[in-house]
Structure 1
Amino acid sequence: MSAPDPTPTPTVIAVVTTLPDRAAAQDLARALVSQGLAACAQISEIESVYRWDGALQQEREFRLLLKTRAALYPRLEVAIRAAHPYELPAIHAQALGPVYGPYARWVEEQTLAAGDDAA
């Protein structure tokens, strides 16, 4: 049995938002990954039920799940808000852990160009 890897595992988070169509989700995913704010993005079609302006809504949306470092959340949120078509976008993060060390380090490598939480 090999010894555990002593390299600290970066804190990886999943940031989720929803968008009105696949093209908007793809555009935002490409922009955030190309800027190094997210290591990768996954897009899935969902159906959402919610109350808006006092009326019950039910519509198709696209969930965008982004994997990044916790330190980048503030900058990622700003970038999502700036590009998002919704008046009130859902933007939330969840810590992922434990995370397979080599994968966590890959996420870190892919987002290092974006720097840390200092804008």
Structure 2
Amino acid sequence: MTNREFLVVTTTHDDETRARELALTVVRDRLAACAQVYPIQSVYWWDGEVQDSAEWRVDFKTRVDLADQLAARIAELHTYDTPEIIGVTVTTGSAAYLDWVTAETRS
């Protein structure tokens, strides 16, 4: 199935507990049907230096029409000064899974 009505929105957090709390809150708010939380190692510029740190990535599965609300909620709850909030369009997916994402998110 080809569809551009869905997104995977990604953010990162430096604390596993906070990453999981963010995931739970967003899913309970019905701004995403699910969230996956997993450890990563990030290398990035911050405060004029290259940083290398452990983080927790959170991938939210949602609808395009919820993107702005989801981004605002992530920014509201996040502890970073500049949290990563990036949405990638889903270009293909199973009809049953995408129907489930629609059913489990806000109308």
Shared fold per TM-score greater than 0.5: yes
Tell me if 1:106 matches 2:100: yes
Q: Residues of 2 paired with 1:78 and 1:54: CA distance?
A: 27
Tell me if 1:23 matches 2:17: yes
Question: Residue in 2 aligned with 1:45?
Answer: 39
Q: Residues of 2 paired with 1:48 and 1:25: CA distance?
A: 15
Q: Which runs of 5+ in 2 are unaligned?
A: none
Cα-to-partner distance string for 1:57-110 (whole Å, 9 max, x where unaligned):
100000000000010000000000000000000100001121111110100000
Classify the secondary structure of the residue corresponding to 2:104: helix
Q: Which runs of 5+ in 1 are unaligned?
A: none
| TM-score under structure 1 length normalisation | 0.85
Question: What fraction of aligned residue pairs are identical, expressed as a percent?
Answer: 36
Which range is displaced more, 94-103 or 77-86? 94-103
